[in-house]
Amino acid sequence: MSGPVRATSPGVPALKLGPLVLEVPVLLAPMAGVTNRAFRTLCRGYGAALYVSEMVTARALIEGNAKTEAMASFGPDEEVRSVQLSGVDPAVMGRAVGRLVDEIGVDHVDLNFGCPAGKVTRQGAGAALPLHRALFRAILRAAVVHAGPVPVTVKLRIGIDAAHTTFLESGRIAEDEGAAAVTLHARTAEQLYSGTADWEAIAALKETVTSVPVLGNGDLWEAADALEDPEALAALEAAMAVSIAAALDALLAARREEGQALSGVLGGLVDRSMREARPGRISASLRT
């Protein structure tokens, strides 16, 4: 287990996930096909504090699937090892988390209850699973028990659609069952990535979940999006952190075409966020 993740942002409130202390509350969110070992290595030199792996399925991990094991592997320079898991069976999830902690030596586990992809939700996983509250609770409980001191966090969507919202009750359950933080992508599964993120929902979640950090996610492409949009700013002041995913991926592609350095993307986000935030404002991190 590693200690605090150090960074040069004096005066910025740290984000605490159980024993992990992230001095820069900016997280690289898990992205399928993107946040592999090479991508995490590239990003680590430019800021942020936590870099989550691609989403892996719990069953494939315990069955020893070679591709899944490769996705859950880490380089010797990765001091903090973070993996996102998806699954629909509490027993399988518990075994997968146990393997991550005992054999692979991870420092953080994130549970995916937010993926809107049809191939995931048709199996009852991802954003579809919180509809089944008892199952959601059982999966989370199994993960927390098998993780021991390793922090377990959850990633949510608002719900399946506008008529079936689940995020507030899911946030309460996650808090009750020992989750170290709750992340909300402020869209429904039906929306996928269309429309606009509802940052008022993130503020509402923070009013509901009071004992652990709430991370906001959705439509933050750069620091100015959070600092100049009144709705997002109000939500971020209530939330504890934000995480970066699709926005970073798209910006990286644009910067590569323009011949600009990655530091202008991630470094600029961190630096400007911290420079422009007024004293006493709770910092925010970006997730998608």
Q: Provide the annotated active-site residues.
A: 115
User: Cα 79 from chain centroid?
Assistant: 18
Instruction: Give residues with Cβ within 8 angstroms of 267, minimum separation 6.
Output: 46, 47
Instruction: Give residues with Cβ within 8 angstroms of 147, minimum separation 6.
Output: 97, 101, 109
CB 206 within 8 A of CB 238: yes
Beta-strand relationship, 164-165 and 159-161 = antiparallel
* Gap between the Cα atoms of 32 and 209, Å rounded: 28
- Nearest Cα neighbor of 233 from 268, 194, 190, 276 is 276
CB 48 within 8 A of CB 15: no
CB 287 within 8 A of CB 246: no
> Distances from the Cα of 154 to the Cαs of 13, 139, 269, in angstroms?
21, 11, 24
The CA-based dihedral angle spanning residues 158, 190, 117, 243, taken in that order and rounded to the nearest 10 degrees: -40
